[in-house]
Amino acid sequence: MRRPEANGAHHPVKKRVFFVDDHDVVRFGAAQLIAKQPDLESCGGASSVPEALPIIRELKPDVIVADISLKNSNGLELLKIVRAESPGTPILVMSMHDELVWAEMALRAGAKGYIMKENSIEHLVPALRALLGGKIYLSPAAAAHMIQAQVAPNAGKPPLERLSDRERQVLSMLGEWKNSREIASELNLSIKTVEYYKQNIKDKLNLRGGSELTQFAVEISKVGGSTG
């Protein structure tokens, strides 16, 4: 469809982008970037899944940009719900979480692309255009990682499959907000051994510290993806 102008010129109808992020400054900054584009426009935003869903159902945006960590909710839940209710609406995940750990998980949940917030100025607009064109968008690093997983399956296993059974058990308990002492007591291990497992998990999942490990464990537990 094209919208005629008074002077006879024709301009493409802009595709509407909806943002789901619990940081106002992120939504504002992304909307400002979109406002400069001739083919895109922001149609609103929300900070949580419960807030976003009724608006999305009403507005029916052309594309959604969502974070994984949201206010009292989880972006992966949003992906699954939108995929079920509106399979033709593509979702781009834009997150601070390491793409090499989270991108594959997001794609499995229904996302069509994944970019990191720190690279959003460079990647947001190209990613949106790719998704609107029916393509999947990943950064070169994440795409190379996915290809490596196909070429050398053992080296490119999905993140959680790299963990041993005991490491998965520790990760699951971290997702329940248990500390090392509590985990050691329940598993009949020394605290030093639990710390050893935690370090292994961080190394295998490329997590950068204890707080990021805990956040990862909690987010995974929310969507039932932890570990069994």
* Residue 167: HSE in the Cβ half-sphere, 13 Å Cα cutoff: 17
Average pLDDT, the chain: 84
The predicted pLDDT at position 124 comes to 95
pLDDT higher at 131 or 105: 131
Residues of the chain with CATH 3.40.50.2300: 2-150
Burial (CB < 10 A; 0-12, 13-18, 19+), residue 9, is exposed
The predicted pLDDT at position 82 comes to 93
- Does residue 19 register a pLDDT over 80? yes
208: pLDDT confidence band, cut at 50, 70 and 90?
Answer: confident
The predicted pLDDT at position 158 comes to 62
Q: In the chain, pLDDT over 90 holds for what percent of residues?
A: 46
What is the fold, at CATH topology level, of the domain defined by 159-222?
A: Arc Repressor Mutant, subunit A (1.10.10)
The predicted pLDDT at position 154 comes to 53
Specify the pTM: 0.71
- Tell me the pLDDT tens digit for each residue of 62-80: 999 999 888 777 788 899 8
Residues of the chain with CATH 1.10.10.10: 159-222
- Tell me the pLDDT tens digit for each residue of 167-196: 888 998 998 889 999 999 998 989 999 999
For residue 193, give the nearest of 203, 204, 183, 202 by alpha carbon.
183
* Residue 126: HSE in the Cβ half-sphere, 13 Å Cα cutoff: 11
**SS3 of residue 114 by DSSP:** strand
Domain 2-150 belongs to what architecture? 3-Layer(aba) Sandwich (3.40)
5: pLDDT confidence band, cut at 50, 70 and 90?
Answer: very low
Cα separation of 112 and 49, whole Å? 18
The predicted pLDDT at position 4 comes to 47
